Amino acid sequence: MINDKINFYFMKKSILIIGACGQIGTELTLKLREINGKNSVIAADIREGNEELMQSGPFESINALDYHSILSVIEKYAITEVYLMAAMLSATGEKFPDKAWELNMNSLFNVLNLAKEGKIKKVFWPSSIAVFGPTTPKENTPQETIMEPSTVYGISKQAGERWCEYYFNKYGVDVRSLRYPGIISWKTNPGGGTTDYAVEIYHNALLLGKYDSFLNKGTKLPMMYMDDAIDATIKIMDAKPEDIKIRSSYNLAAMSFTPEEIAEEIRTFIPEFEISYHSDFRQNIADSWPRSIDDSRAREDWGWKHKFDLKKMSKNMLNSLHAKYEEL
Ligand code: SER
């Protein structure tokens, strides 16, 4: 028994990523495979991912709501850490509130309970700026503040944060979490989020030279380039447990911009680019979220630093997407 425990603690890191085929999951899996070796990082999702992901290492078909299928993969590969990246985002969540609540909450309970039962040692679970609501201070939103989220997604993330902290305090579960802003990337498309316009705009700029934005002029939201999001995720998971002083979820930030500011930046590369505005139901969601985030706790506690601002990100996005479209 003691030997088993010692083995468990000194065992090589073996990682399971649930939701590995999504926007963040794909790039997280690729990066973790680069760092830890492809056979130490198991990708799992309900559907298969893109070719690069599927060819980069082992894949298991898992429904995040099925505790026993997660457990059998954990046992098969002697998994020590789980990153739970499966979730229904804000815009889709408003169309399917019951499903969003079920997926976002029960997948988390499955993983937290596996950690509580000692089957895994560490958990990463993403939260979001959606935990904030219309009554939250909008500029430089503090770590601790009023949180009255108005979307199903936001309610599920806020409840999830409470449960993470509860499992840490009550059962000693080593769970770590970040409140991601809108994540911008070129490898895999986002799906069903309110911040997705800031990805679509780059594709449309290259393919059509114009973009019709579903968020109005002046809608400023916190955003981050994928490289920074992956860096932050790996950094918080590598931090010493005593440096993780917040067990609900850390505010995390890099930049904030409006649709017209991103359009202006795109025009420095594509001068004829045009933007128009026709907002839909996502405008209400965006209006309920912060405009900028104070992430000083992440910077102080475990040394978070972002690398990409709007200019650097736009250059990288347009170059990468251009190369991708040339290949097709
Ligand atoms: N990008 C997410 C969304 O728009 C926010 O966490 O739903």
What residue's CA is closest to ligand 1, atom 2?
A: 193
Does the residue 206 lie in any domain? no
Does the residue 86 lie in any domain? yes
Report the candidate in 41, 97, 42, 31 with the shortest Cα–Cα distance to residue 69: 42
Does the residue 257 lie in any domain? no
CA distance 225 to 182: 8
Is residue 24 within a helix (H) or strand (E), and if so which, with residue range?
Answer: helix 23-36
Using most ligand atoms within 8 A of CB, pick from 195, 226, 251 the residue to mutate for ligand 1: 195
CA torsion through residues 314, 317, 323, 326, sign = negative
Does the residue 99 lie in any domain? yes
Q: Kindly state the average pLDDT of the residues 161-185.
A: 98
**Per-residue confidence band for 205, with pLDDT thresholds at 50, 70 and 90:** very high
Does the residue 119 lie in any domain? yes
Average pLDDT, the chain: 96
* Whether the predicted pLDDT of 221 surpasses 70: yes
CB 193 near ligand 1, within 6 Å: yes
Does the residue 13 lie in any domain? yes
Q: Using one digit for the tens of pLDDT, what is the confidence trace for 271-309?
A: 999 999 999 999 999 999 999 999 999 999 999 999 999
Does the residue 269 lie in any domain? no
Least confident of 10-19, 30-39, 174-183: 10-19
* Whether the predicted pLDDT of 3 surpasses 90: no
Percent of the chain exceeding pLDDT 70 equals 97
Report the candidate in 108, 71, 60, 73 with the shortest Cα–Cα distance to residue 88: 108
- What token pair was written down for 222? 């916190």
- What token pair was written down for 179? 């409140």
Whichever domain contains 13, its CATH number is 3.40.50.720
Does the residue 32 lie in any domain? yes
> pLDDT at position 328, please?
82
Number of domains in the chain: 1
Output the CA 68–ligand 1 centroid distance in Å: 29
Owning domain of residue 69: 2-129+146-179
Output the CA 78–ligand 1 centroid distance in Å: 32
CB 130 near ligand 1, within 6 Å: yes
Q: pTM here?
A: 0.95
Q: Kindly state the average pLDDT of the residues 102-129.
A: 98
Using most ligand atoms within 8 A of CB, pick from 24, 89, 151, 219 the residue to mutate for ligand 1: 89
Q: What distance separates the 2 farthest-apart alpha carbons in the chain? A: 69
Beta strands 15-18 and 221-225, pairing class: unpaired
